[in-house]
Amino acid sequence: MRFVKPDFGLLSPGEKRKISLLRKDLLAWFSHHGRDLPWRSPSASEFEKICVEVLLQRTRAETVAAIYPAFFARFESWSDIADASIPELEGHLKPIGLWRRRAVSIKGIATYAAKRNGQFPKDPCELGKVPGVGQYVMNAILLFQHGARTPLVDVNMTRVLERFVKPRTLSDIRFDPWLQAASHWLVRMQPVETNWATLDFAARVCISRHPRCNTCRVASRCKANVR
């Protein structure tokens, strides 16, 4: 997985100010309207938080939350996942879809982690070589294990930034330089909470079809406002 270093020089001063204000508003909204998800509990382990991000790709948070208790009752560590067979993993993951791909991916990551006491490289270039680690999971590991200010960039975070600021240039969100810079700028402060706030806002207000602009606290500054 090729690491794309964010170039903040691609952001104009106006865009930086706008994204910073967006962060402030998203965090204020999140404090009242954020989703209550089990991996956000203070008791959730680093292992659970990283593992969940593997499962969340292309899947609704509520769908993953439904299997969370049973999955982590059976798999309490990376070693538990590494030692499990692919068919068993597929059985646990079938309710969230793409179970064959997810089983292979999470077993590859778990096998690597189990041999290293759960520790992943801090260097993004080295981390990108770990089996099953793409950009999204890489950023999740850097965020939750190493305290890095990395964005959980998916179609939802992308939608919020593109609507609020401007469209990206490249179709692949992993490699668009402006989007990478904008998303990293967004999470420069309170990175964990800002990531969660953005994803929740995308799920509840700035939804894909028929966005709820009439309830949006940033609609007056948003380029896509349809009120």
pLDDT (0 to 100) of residue 118: 97
pLDDT confidence of 102, banded at 50, 70, 90?
very high
Average pLDDT, the chain: 95
Of 23-27, 54-58, 182-186, 192-196, least confident by mean pLDDT is: 54-58
Query: Domains, the chain, ranges and CATH?
Result: 8-34+149-221 (1.10.1670.10), 38-144 (1.10.340.30)
Rounded percentage of the chain residues whose pLDDT exceeds 90: 90
- Tell me how far apart the alpha carbons of residues 173 and 194 are, in angstroms, rounded to a whole number: 19
pLDDT of 4 higher than 80: no
pLDDT (0 to 100) of residue 224: 84
pLDDT confidence of 2, banded at 50, 70, 90?
low
Amino acid at 36: D
Helices H / strands E in the chain, number of each? 11, 0
pLDDT (0 to 100) of residue 225: 74
pLDDT of 147 higher than 70: yes
Average pLDDT over residues 110-134: 95
Average pLDDT over residues 7-34: 97
pLDDT (0 to 100) of residue 5: 84
pLDDT (0 to 100) of residue 227: 54
Average pLDDT over residues 132-161: 96
Contact (Cβ atoms closer than 8 angstroms) between residue 52 and residue 64 = yes
The predicted model scores a pTM of 0.94
Which tokens hold the place of 193? 């909470």
Pick left, alpha or beta for residue 212 (phi over 0 → left; psi -120 to 50 → alpha; otherwise beta).
beta
**Rounded to whole angstroms, what are the CA distances from 66 to 23, 38, 79, 80, 128?**
29, 10, 23, 20, 30
Average pLDDT over residues 128-138: 93
pLDDT of 226 higher than 70: no
Contact (Cβ atoms closer than 8 angstroms) between residue 190 and residue 164 = no
